[in-house]
């Protein structure tokens, strides 16, 4: 009989016992999955959707789990609820596939961003690395020396929105570029190195983006699981 994808996922997405370390802006958890190579194989053979469509600021390709995050990642959700002692609920969980040759549709794909709004103020986000490489990183930023979007005044929020609106929609050469550590009012504060099968967790209202230099991942893909949760 044909085995469903959900049955296969339940067999392979198995967590180890998780321990967390504090690392500045984020928490680090090592050796997260019992079968990381099987999870990567599952994603490699699944449906990846190109993000090359209008008003999409996410680069590369996306592996969508639809609206089933609470069921598909039930054990991970339970871990986060225990860690933060709050009733978190998934907002969105998906796979990211990046490489140095991917086409970019606009500058917003490169710039720092946040994953929450006023409704999801207490949200947390995570990146789980499924790529055997020491070049999988997430960078954290500040806007006018403020690491959280919730620290911005009303005037600064307007200024930040104007800044984003003024960015050129077309990236030169339509290829990935890594912006400098000082970009307008943005300043890079730190870079988190995410080892294979490791995960970082951080407040979803912190400014962040993918850190990937132009000559990285020319012949391979940078695959991660990413998502964010909000207080119910």
Instruction: Give domain status of residue 32, yes or no.
Output: yes
Q: What CATH code is carried by the domain that includes residue 160?
A: 2.60.120.620
How many separate domains does the chain show?
A: 1
Which residue range is the domain that position 205 belongs to?
Answer: 20-231
- CA–CA distance, 230 with 53 (Å, rounded to integer): 27
Q: Is residue 58 domain-resident?
A: yes
From first to last of its 232 residues, what are the pLDDT tens digits of the chain? 778 888 999 999 999 999 999 888 899 999 999 999 999 999 999 999 988 775 677 888 999 988 888 889 999 999 999 998 888 888 889 999 999 888 877 788 889 998 876 544 568 899 999 999 999 999 999 999 999 998 999 999 899 988 888 876 555 567 788 889 999 999 999 999 999 999 999 998 999 999 999 899 999 999 999 998 887 6
Could you tell me if residue 37 is inside a domain?
yes
* Stated pTM of the model: 0.91
Q: Closest Cα partner for 137 from 2, 7, 28? A: 28
For residue 6, is it within any domain? Answer: no
């Amino acid at each position: 009989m044909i085995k469903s994808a959900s049955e296969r996922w339940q067999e392979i997405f198995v967590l180890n016992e998780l321990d967390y370390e504090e690392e500045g802006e984020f928490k680090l958890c090592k050796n997260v999955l019992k079968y990381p190579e099987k999870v990567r194989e599952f994603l490699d053979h699944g449906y990846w959707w190109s993000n090359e469509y209008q008003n999409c600021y996410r680069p590369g390709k996306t592996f969508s789990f639809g609206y089933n995050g609470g069921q598909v990642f039930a054990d991970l959700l339970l871990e986060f609820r225990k860690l933060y002692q709050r009733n978190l609920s998934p907002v969105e969980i998906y796979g990211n596939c990046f490489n140095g040759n991917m086409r970019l549709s606009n500058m917003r794909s490169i710039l720092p961003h946040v994953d929450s709004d006023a409704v999801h103020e207490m949200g947390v986000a995570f990146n789980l690395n499924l790529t055997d490489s020491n070049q999988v990183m997430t960078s954290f930023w500040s806007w006018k020396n403020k690491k959280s979007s919730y620290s911005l005044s009303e005037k600064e929020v307007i200024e930040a929105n104007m800044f984003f609106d003024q960015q050129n929609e077309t990236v030169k050469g339509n290829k990935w570029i890594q912006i400098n550590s000082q970009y307008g009012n943005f300043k890079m504060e730190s870079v988190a190195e995410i080892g294979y099968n490791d995960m970082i967790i951080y407040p979803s209202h912190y400014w962040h983006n993918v850190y990937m230099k132009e000559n990285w991942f020319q012949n391979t893909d940078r695959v991660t699981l990413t998502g964010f949760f909000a207080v119910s």
